[in-house]
Chain A
Amino acid sequence: MSDLLKYDLLGASEAIKSKEISSVELTNAYIEAIEKTSSLGAYLEIVKDKALEMAKVSDENISKGVSRPLEGLPIGVKDMFCTKDIKTTASSKILDNFYPTYESTVTQNLWNDGAVMLGKLSCDEFAMGSSNETAAKGNVINPWLKHKKMSPGGSSGGSAAAVAARSALAATGTDTGGSIRQPAAFCGITGLKPTYGRCSRWGIVAFSSSLDQAGPLTRTVSDAALMLNSMASYDKKDSTSANLDMPDLMSYLGNSIKGKKIGIPKEYTQDGISDDIVNFYQKSINWLKEAGAEIIPVSLPHTKYALPVYYIIAPAEASSNLARYDGVRFGQRKEASSLDDMYETTRGEGFGDEVKRRIMIGTYVLSSGYYDAYYLKAQKVRRLIKEDFENVFKKVDYILTPSTPTTSFELGKKQDPLTMYLNDIFTVPASLAGLPGISLPIGLDKLGLPIGIQLIANAFDEPGLISTAHVLEKSADFNFIADGAAK
């Protein structure tokens, strides 16, 4: 049985198509893996019957000679995606017992393409966090150095942990300021945040509308390409969705990057980055050079403002997006004698501390008298950050940066929110600019924890991002498996 877990998404797809293995076999192996790794706490909801039903349909399709792009491949879904008749909570108490009557566009795309649903994956509450510690149902444990109880990162911590622990062949995530790339880096897997507008936001619980973007967490770059091919689509139901065709990303695997220009921003090599990460960053630069790329030092001068800007804009939008969780129509309600009291107790008990903190920050920065100084100023600086990237992309094709300043940390160790926010320092700028970014594992630090490297591309250049990441992946030849992974 455990042999089945060795396939990555692409490998499993080929094995199913060639009838080497069946989807039901594979799905059963993953259901077993979920049970074996349940102590990690990655899954909030397991839909065994539904998974086997979908797998059976896939096997029937294969026997009929029909095979959709993701036929029979069992995957997990971050709890931010609304899934029809399957509990969707965004890891929040306030949505306990919420069963959507609709399916998000992204997950529907996946099911339409034949993917098999295993269940819902934990995340930080409303995707607000960088350690998965704000989830209402408790921490998720990183499968790396499992005994030390390290953080899987966040907010897509459950997704990253499940892929790393081999309890999902791949998973969906959402990225607002780094929520796909940072946990991917912490868990030694690949995480791709597409260009803002590539994936429809319809049916995804909103955190920060101008930043939220869905993307895949996978074992390999090829798997990320395979997943994103299906996830991305133009959707009339999302006014910010891009009306652009996505080229078949699989056809960009194996392309040479000879002559491509890679920018190395000087602002991303500041103090506070661990030595191991600095070393592997240098190694990555060398690998790209060896592959024929030209390395060019560049400057993104407004980088230092990215975190403050992010922590104004994202909470501002969140404070408004989360107003709908008021106990009136769905989710948890605490009865009280007046409407205002009902709001206060429902929201007071329903939201966790981090969510409350951000609602308060967001409310403050939008208040009359403060709006110009905070929100409006932040929007202007966001524009400058975007222009930084536009200028750099006139000179280079891709930008290479570390994914995170440090590798994973022990759960419960980082109590200070500001220190926690620093985790996203390398991922936030591309989010603010709406650019696609990918994090892939390139090595282990002294403790044996995975190190991620990030490539950023110009808007809608996912094809080039995939080609370049694929080259880097080959050079790094990262073939370690987490000690806490299912065997």
Chain B
Amino acid sequence: MSETSKLKPGHIQGETGVWEMVIGLEIHAQVSSKSKLFSGASATFGAQANSNVSLVDAAMPGMLPVINEYCVEQAVKTGLALNAQINNISVFDRKNYFYADLPQGYQISQFTKPIVGEGEINIDVDDNNQTTIGIERLHLEQDAGKSLHDQHPSKSYIDLNRTGVALMEIVSKPDIRSPQEAGAYVKKIRSILRYVGSCDGNMEEGSLRADCNVSVRKAGEEFGTRCEIKNLNSIRFINQAIQAEAERQVEILESGGEINQETRLFDTSTGETRSMRSKEDAHDYRYFPDPDLLPLEFTDSFVQDIKDKLPELPDFVKKRLVNEYGITPYDASILVEEKDYVNFFEKAATGGDGKLTANWMISELFGALKKENLLLSNSPISPETLGELIGLISKGIISGKIAKDVFSEMMISSKKPSDIVKEKGLEQVSDDKEILKLVDKVIADNQDKVKDYLSGKDKLFGFFVGQVMKISQGKANPGLVNKMLKENLK
């Protein structure tokens, strides 16, 4: 094994020793709301440019924002799902800066008094690595519009459809220590958002994006200077960007340099980060409370009502799956990522072996779907047919090996597994006499090996099993084969 492959994820081997990554994430999640945060305009994705723009969004003179109560409820709901403090009084502030796609000349956001305070979530990186990540805050803010610089040689075009759409910014504490943890964290946030229905979590359409704050340090030392990588819209890019940025920082520090606190962009084509603006060029946003809006004030009963209506959350479902089906916590964490997965799993596992179902879903079905570029909702294999297949295995009607062939056939034809087994005569042979015939034949054909085995070469037992399975075309019941070989090899 090489030096580096022994390293823990999130550690970097430098000339001077091992460096550790310190990562904090700011996730921007678009609230699933029909209308915008402060105007009645539609928040639908993909409409014709500038068709979803109200007078308020375009910041016409004299126009005033009015809070969308639905968005407020979604933020509270999400805060509760993040086990976070709900602030009964919060304030909207103006973040002032000029840009062509920011009609007001300021973004309405929450600065000193966010709607949601500290919380925490559990993440599962793999079977042996579960940890808790702190949430610093969640606040509501307006999205900006879109500048299109590639439509005309000398002009920029502005699309204000996205202007004013409600975002929840979820800020983690700097508790994340590896790109893998960052990925698991984003996945967990995404599934929580989807469970409560406050955001569709669709990263391709940009309704979930992340800014990553990355620094490096030697174990036990103070935090280093951080850089912020803006606007990452896939878990893969988050992984790559963090790794690349941390490596860049280690290289600078080891050659005696200093990290400049700055905002950086991740170039997906080169896999590197590059500077966007330095701290010196950072805007002075001149935050102040928006005088057009009153502070948001909730009663305890308003929060309690939302709490009472919260759906089952991923952690709760995970615990239930582990208890009810005896599957591993890690498998459960993968299944609870999406409500779809859980529903599929529970249907498929009806009356069958839960652990086996989880294995088949995660390694076989997810793998096959990924290869075909299909979503679970479009799977040719239904929960019922997968359940039937698991049943065939656990009842000993087919072997695991045969089951894989049946599975492949099911992916293509969508046929029921029992029909495939019948058509192709794949039932497992469990008849003692049939198997004894095969065992006898293998023993007779391999007298020299029998001699070796009997003289102490125990390892040869596997060879005999293999031979019997081979001449049975995989259909012999492996348990019976084992038993009879042992009885007859004497």
Contacts and interface: CB of A to CB of B under 8 A. Distances in A.
Contacts of A328: 100, 103, 158
B67 interface: yes
Contacts of A330: 60-61
A309 interface: no
B98 A237 contact: no
How many chain A residues sit at the interface, stated as a range, is 35 or more
Contacts of A324: 59, 61, 103-105
Interface of B: 55, 58-67, 94, 96, 98-100, 103-106, 156, 158, 284, 286-288, 291-294
A205 interface: yes
A447 interface: no
A206 B294 contact: no
A201 B64 contact: yes
Given A320-B96, A320-B106, A323-B105, A239 B67 contact: yes
Contacts of A205: 61-62
Interface of A: 81-82, 88, 90, 95, 98, 100-102, 104, 201-206, 208-210, 236-240, 316-317, 319-320, 322-324, 326, 328-330, 339, 343, 363, 366-368, 371, 375
Contacts of B65: 239
Given A88-B61, A238-B64, A375 B288 contact: yes
Nearest to B98: A343
Nearest to B104: A324
Nearest to B293: A239
A210 B291 contact: yes
B59 A239 contact: no
A286 B218 CA distance: 82
A95 B106 CA distance: 19
Contacts of B158: 328
Contact of B58 (A82, A329, A363, A375): A329
A208 B291 CA distance: 8
B351 to A, nearest CB: 56
B289 to A, nearest CB: 8
14 contacts: A82-B62, A202-B64, A203-B63, A206-B62, A208-B291, A239-B67, A240-B292, A320-B96, A320-B105, A323-B104, A326-B105, A366-B287, A367-B284, A368-B284
Given A240-B292, A366-B286, A323 B96 contact: yes
A177 to B, nearest CB: 15
B421 to A, nearest CB: 66
B103 A239 contact: no
Nearest to A316: B288
A319 B106 CA distance: 11
B100 A339 contact: yes
A239 B294 contact: yes
B59 A329 contact: yes
Contact of B62 (A204, A236, A375): A204
A205 B63 CA distance: 8
Nearest to B288: A366
Contacts of A209: 291-292
Contacts of B105: 320, 322-324, 326
Contact of A102 (B60, B156, B292): B60
A203 B61 CA distance: 7
Nearest to A340: B98
A92 to B, nearest CB: 10
Contact of B294 (A240, A317, A319, A366): A240
B391 to A, nearest CB: 60
A238 to B, nearest CB: 5
A426 B58 CA distance: 37
Contact of A202 (B62, B99, B106, B293): B62
A323 B103 CA distance: 8
Contacts of B103: 324, 328-329
A249 B288 CA distance: 37
A202 B292 CA distance: 10
B95 to A, nearest CB: 10
A286 B193 CA distance: 69
Most chain A Cβ neighbours within 10 Å, of B64, B65, B106:
B64
A211 to B, nearest CB: 8
Nearest to B55: A102
Contacts of A339: 99-100, 156
A413 B292 CA distance: 36
Given A320-B286, A343-B98, A82 B291 contact: no
A101 B60 CA distance: 10
Contacts of B99: 339
The 5 closest A-B pairs by CB, nearest first: A323-B105, A209-B291, A366-B286, A210-B291, A324-B59
A371 B67 contact: no
B66 A237 contact: yes
